[in-house]
């Protein structure tokens, strides 16, 4: 398993959503998602926090060591079973080497046992202190890295800003999202620009491009009461289809026809940020329940899902819409195998503490499943405007190299070499 898959595995075992885990660690849900999808690696202090939260070592999270059979308890002052066994053995050997004790001389053995216990505890306490010191060194290194990164980022930002100002054609400009009509899937922006060098008779062509189409408007400078240009400020309103990548530019057109283009602003994630989203989709051990035999995958018993919707705003420019329809299904190679039917909280038997969740039950089924196939659970959400979004559970499965069980793609023993990239483009999924 990759580091991201190990984090996802322990999070699900703990019954935590990405949103909840992010809140505990002081990071956003997007950071947890990036860690679990292996597009980013947690910082050192976050790795230490994750190891403590999940009761595993940092080395296990990074995949460089196996998980211990009995996790350590760094916050406990008691000796472990192994340490107690060691103390008992030392004490027994010590007593066996002595002559048979007389009743009035038992106290030396008691003192010896206490001394051994104290020594063992001191060793344990020293080990624990070293662990804390090790964590402290990691934290200091991480703080130094962040400080250096901030300094480099600050210098880079200053240089970038200076270069922008030197290369800019504008003395001032601004853009603002003034309205969004989700029933038409459109957005309207107000824009203005003041050229560094104003030439009488010049005009500005404002353009908005959403990656699929563009819309432009050519304007003269703002007029006076008689309609004559008196200001060096050019302004307009532009409307385009709502997408995740929108770029606004201004083209300064001189009286002789010379054209100079100036990028003004880019907007990212407006469309996806306006859609409903899933905070957590949990299956009741799909990996363990599935049986592989003769080229078929079988779920002999019904399996339940728990789904929690996200309440986090990805952007504040366009509020996230509500889901009016939720469907949860099992997919093979992004094609629907079967839908799970909605059930009430009273009907479900697999989950506790999911107060804000909705539940679904997948009935027993069997279907062909071969090497290289990818198994995923996903939710399809439809909002009040009829827009659909697909939310995979970020926990894909494939056959191991022996073809006998399910593992994570790209993990040790997986039939696939590379880690699988989660696809959230609904046009790539088949479920109708």
**Which one, of 343, 414, 346, 330, lies nearest residue 379 by Cα?**
330
Which residues are CB-neighbours of 36 under 8 A, at least 6 positions away? 4, 5, 7, 8, 11, 18, 394
**Domain coordinates of the chain in residue numbers?**
3-62, 81-165, 170-268, 273-428
H helix or E strand, kind and range, residue 418: none
Cα distance between residue 258 and residue 241, in whole Å = 30
CATH number of the domain located at residue range(s) 170-268 in this protein = 2.60.40.10
- Output the pTM of the full model: 0.58
Other CB atoms within a 10 A radius of the CB of residue 363 amount to 12
By three-state DSSP, how is residue 92 classified? helix
**Which one, of 306, 225, 299, 233, lies nearest residue 17 by Cα?**
306
Cα distance between residue 88 and residue 94, in whole Å = 10
Please answer whether residues 268 and 245 qualify as being in contact, where contact means their C-beta atoms are separated by less than 8 angstroms: yes
- Give ∠ CA 317-320-326 in degrees, rounded to 5: 165
Task: Tell me the longest C-alpha to C-alpha distance in the chain.
Answer: 120
Can you read off the two tokens belonging to residue 195?
Answer: 């050229």
For residue 116, the model assigns a pLDDT of: 72
For residue 37, the model assigns a pLDDT of: 82
Taking the chain (432 residues) in consecutive chunks of 10 residues, what is each chunk's mean pLDDT? 87 86 86 84 84 84 65 47 49 47 56 70 66 58 64 55 61 94 95 91 94 89 61 90 95 93 94 92 92 95 95 78 96 97 96 92 97 95 96 91 86 55 92 84
Question: Would the CA dihedral through 192, 195, 200, 203 be positive or negative?
Answer: negative
Can you read off the two tokens belonging to residue 236?
Answer: 């307009």
Q: Is 336 exposed, middle or buried (0-12, 13-18, 19+ CB in 10 A)?
A: middle
For residue 346, the model assigns a pLDDT of: 95
Which residue in this structure is represented by tokens 């089924």?
Answer: 365
User: What spatial distance separates the first Cα and last Cα of the chain, rounded to whole Å?
Assistant: 33
Cα distance between residue 105 and residue 95, in whole Å = 12
Q: What is the DSSP string of 325-349?
A: EEEEEEEETTEEEEEEEEE-TTT--
Cα distance between residue 149 and residue 143, in whole Å = 10
Q: Which class does domain 3-62 fall in?
A: mainly alpha
By three-state DSSP, how is residue 415 classified? coil
For residue 96, the model assigns a pLDDT of: 53
For residue 258, the model assigns a pLDDT of: 93
Cα distance between residue 161 and residue 166, in whole Å = 9
Question: Strand ranges (DSSP E) for 155-233?
Answer: 170-181, 186-195, 203-209, 214-219
Please answer whether residues 219 and 231 qualify as being in contact, where contact means their C-beta atoms are separated by less than 8 angstroms: no
**Which one, of 382, 381, 342, lies nearest residue 362 by Cα?**
342
């Amino acid at each position: 398993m990759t580091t991201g898959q190990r984090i996802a595995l322990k999070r699900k075992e703990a019954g935590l959503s990405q949103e909840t885990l992010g809140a505990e660690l002081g990071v956003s849900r997007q950071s947890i998602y990036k860690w679990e999808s292996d597009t980013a690696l947690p910082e050192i202090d976050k790795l230490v926090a994750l190891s403590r939260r999940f009761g595993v070592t940092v080395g296990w999270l990074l995949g460089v060591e196996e998980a211990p059979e009995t996790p350590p308890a760094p916050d406990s002052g008691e000796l472990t079973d192994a340490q107690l066994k060691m103390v008992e053995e030392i004490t027994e050997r010590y007593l066996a080497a002595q002559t048979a004790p007389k009743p009035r001389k038992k106290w030396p053995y008691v003192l010896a046992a206490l001394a051994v216990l104290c020594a063992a505890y001191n060793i344990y306490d020293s080990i624990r202190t070293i662990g804390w010191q090790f964590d402290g060194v990691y934290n200091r290194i991480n703080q130094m890295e962040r400080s250096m990164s901030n300094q480099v980022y600050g210098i880079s930002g200053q240089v970038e800003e200076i270069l922008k100002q030197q290369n800019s054609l504008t003395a001032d400009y601004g853009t603002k999202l003034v309205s969004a009509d989700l029933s038409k899937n459109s957005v309207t922006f107000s824009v203005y620009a003041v050229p560094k060098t104003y030439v009488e008779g010049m005009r500005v062509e404002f353009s908005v491009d959403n990656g699929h189409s563009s819309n432009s408007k050519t304007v003269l400078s703002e007029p006076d009461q008689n309609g004559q240009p008196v200001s060096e400020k050019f302004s307009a309103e532009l409307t385009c289809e709502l997408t995740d990548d929108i770029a606004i530019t201004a083209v300064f057109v001189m009286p002789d026809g010379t054209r100079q283009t100036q990028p003004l602003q880019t907007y990212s994630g407006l469309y996806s940020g306006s859609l409903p989203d899933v905070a957590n989709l949990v299956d009741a051990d799909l990996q363990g329940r599935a049986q592989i035999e003769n080229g078929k995958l079988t779920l002999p018993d019904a399996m339940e899902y728990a789904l929690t919707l996200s309440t986090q705003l990805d952007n504040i420019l366009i509020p996230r819409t509500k889901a009016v329809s939720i469907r949860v299904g099992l997919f093979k190679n992004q094609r629907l195998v079967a839908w799970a039917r909605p059930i009430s909280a009273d009907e479900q038997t697999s989950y506790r503490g999911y107060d804000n969740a909705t539940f679904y039950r997948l009935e027993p089924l069997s279907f062909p499943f071969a090497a290289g196939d990818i198994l995923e659970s996903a939710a399809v959400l439809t909002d009040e405007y009829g827009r659909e979004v697909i939310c995979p559970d970020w926990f894909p499965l494939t056959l191991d190299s022996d073809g006998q069980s399910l593992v994570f793609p790209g993990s040790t023993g997986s039939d696939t070499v590379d880690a699988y990239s989660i696809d959230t483009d609904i046009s790539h999924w088949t479920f109708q």
